[in-house]
Structure 1
Amino acid sequence: MTRAPDSARRSPLNRERVLLAAVALADRIGIEALSMRGLAQELGVVPMALYKHVANKDELLDGMVEVIVGEIVRPEADGDWRAGVRGRILSARAALLRHPWAARAIESRSRPTPAVLGYLDSVIGAFRTGGVSADLTHHAMHALGSRVWGFTQELFPAPPGDAGLDPEPMAAQLQQLAAHFPHLVEIVAARSHDPGSTVGGGCDDQFEFEFALDVLLDGFERLHRRGWTSTH
C-alpha cells in the first residue's frame, strides 16, 4: 500500500485531512477494502488517532459522502429551472464517476447527511424558483429517482466477456435468441458502440443518461406549462 509522503504525515491531523485521505484511499482500493486500520497506515498514525476525528467507520463514511457531495456544482440558472436541474444532475454524475464507490456509499447511509439534504434541497429549489409547483416537483423527484445523483441501473447489462467476443459467434448467438425474443434482440443489436462503457456493454453511457434525463425534463416542462396537478 502506498503511504502518504513524510511531509503529509507530519502535518497536524484533523477531520478534513482524515476524510480527504479516506476518499483518496477508497478511489484506489474500493470502499469494501477501506478500513480504519488501513486508513491510519495511509496517514502514518495509530488507529486510535483517527477516533478523535471520526467516531467509527459509519461516521467516516458519512464524512466521505459529504466530501463527494461537496464536489457537485450547483449552477445559478436565473429562473431557468430546467438548466438548473440538468446542471446539478450532470455535475453529480461527474462527481460519482470520479469516485465509483460513492453511489454505493450514498445508498448505504441509513440517514442522509446534511450535505446530501442540502443537495436535494438545491435540486428542489431549482424547480421551485423556476415556477414549478410543489405538487409537480414532488412527482418529478420521484420520477428522477437515483438519476438525481447521476446514476441508474442499466437495463441491458453486458454478458461476461462481451467486449472480447468475435463478431461471428455473437451474431450466431443473437440469431438463436431472435427466434424467441425478436424485439429484445432488435434493440440490443441496435445499440451504439462504446467499448469503454461502464454500464451495459456497447452503450454510450453518457448519451443514454442524458437522453433519459432530457426526456424526463421535457415531460416535466410540458406538464408545468399545462398547469398540471396530481388532483386531476
Structure 2
Amino acid sequence: MTQQAEATRRLPLNRERVLDAAVVLADEVGIESLSMRRLAQELGVVPMALYKHVANKEELLDGMVDVIVGEIAPAVPGTDWKNTVRLRVLSARNSLLRHPWARPVLETRTNPTPAVLGYMDSFIGMFFAGGFAVDLTHHVMHALGSRMWGFTQELFDDPGQASQAEVAPDVQAATFQEMAARYPNILKVASAATHDDGSVVGQGCDDQFEFEFALDLLLDGFERFHRQGWTSARAKLDHGNK
C-alpha cells in the first residue's frame, strides 16, 4: 500500500467520507457487490464504525444518491427556461452515465431525502421562472418523469444483447425470420436504429441521441402550451365536448 493510501485510511471517519468511498466502490465493483463489510475494508475500519454515520444499507444508498444529486450542475442564470431545463437534464444524465449503478438505486428510493427534494424543488422553479402556471408545470413534471434525472426506459433495449455473440448465426437468422413474419412493424423500426459503439446499452440505438430527441420534443411541446395559455380545465372541457 502506498504512503498516500495509508494516510487516507488514517483520516478521521465522517459521513461525507463514508458516502464518497461508497460511491467510488460502487463505481468499481457494482452496486450488487457493495456491502457494509466491503466498504469498511476499503476504509480500513471495522464494519461497526460505519453505523455511527449511516444507520443501515438503505441509509447508505440514500446518501449515495445525495452525492450523485450534488454532482448535477445548478441552473445557469441568465438563460431562457428551455435551455436552462435542457442543460440541467443533460447534466443529470452525464452524472448517471458516470455512475451506472445510480439509476436502479434511484428507482428503488421510496423516501426522498432533503437533497432529492431540493433538486425537485429547484427543477420546478425553472419552469416557474419561465412564467409557467402551476397547473401546466404540474403536468409538465408528469410528462418529464424520470427524464428529470437523466434516464428513461429504452423501448428497443434487447435484454439478450450481451449473449448474442454466443448464438450461432443460423439460429440468429431463424429468429429474425420468425420476427419478420410475426412482428414485421417492430422489426422494421428496431432494425432502423442507428448503431453507436459508445452507447451505454451496447450496440443498439444511439441512446444519447434518442434521449435528447425526446427531451427536445417535450420541451417544444411545453413551450407551445405555455404560449397558448394552456390549462387542464380547458383541456378537459375540450375533450368533453368531442
State the TM-score, normalized to the length of structure 1. 0.91
Provide the aligned length of Structure 1 versus Structure 2.
229
Checking the alignment, whether the CA contact within 8 Å between 1:163 and 1:195 is kept in structure 2 is no
After TM superposition, the structure 1 = structure 2 runs for residues 1-232 of structure 1, keeping only pairs within 5 Å, are: 5-78=5-78, 80-158=80-158, 159-160=160-161, 161-162=163-164, 173-199=175-201, 201-232=203-234
The CA deviation at 1:156 is 1.0
1:19-48 alpha-carbon deviations (Å, 9 max, x no partner): 100110111111122111111111001112
For the residue of structure 2 that corresponds to 1:93, the secondary structure is helix
Aligned partners of 1:81 and 1:130 also within 8 Å: yes
More helix by share: 2
In the TM superposition, residue 200 of structure 1 has moved relative to its aligned partner by: 7.1
Gaps of 5+ in 2: 235-242
1:103–1:151 Cα contact (<8 Å) kept: yes
**Contact 2:136/2:232 (CA < 8 Å) preserved in 1?**
yes
Contact 1:136 1:228 in 2 (8 A): yes
Q: CA deviation at 1:163?
A: 6.2
Aligned-CA RMSD value: 2.1
- Counterparts of 1:167 and 1:151, CA distance in 2: 33
Shift of 1:197: 2.5
Deviation at 1:199, TM superposition (A): 3.0
Give, in whole Å, the separation in 2 of the partners of 1:171 and 1:111: 47
SS at match of 1:105: helix
Indicate if the aligned counterparts of 1:135 and 1:230 stay in contact, CA closer than 8 A.
Answer: yes
Shift in CA distance, 44/56, structure 1 to aligned 2, threshold 3 Å? same
Distance 1:48 1:30 in 2: 22
* C-alpha separation in 1, matches of 2:209 and 2:166: 23
Q: For the residues of structure 1 that align with 2:186 and 2:222, how far apart are their CA atoms?
A: 28
TM-score w.r.t. length of structure 2: 0.87
User: CA-to-partner distance for each residue in 1:195-221, whole Å, 9 max, x for gaps?
Assistant: 343237421010010001111111111
| Unaligned residue ranges in structure 1 (runs of 5+) | none
Write the distance in 1 (CA, Å) between the matches of 2:187 and 2:87.
Answer: 34
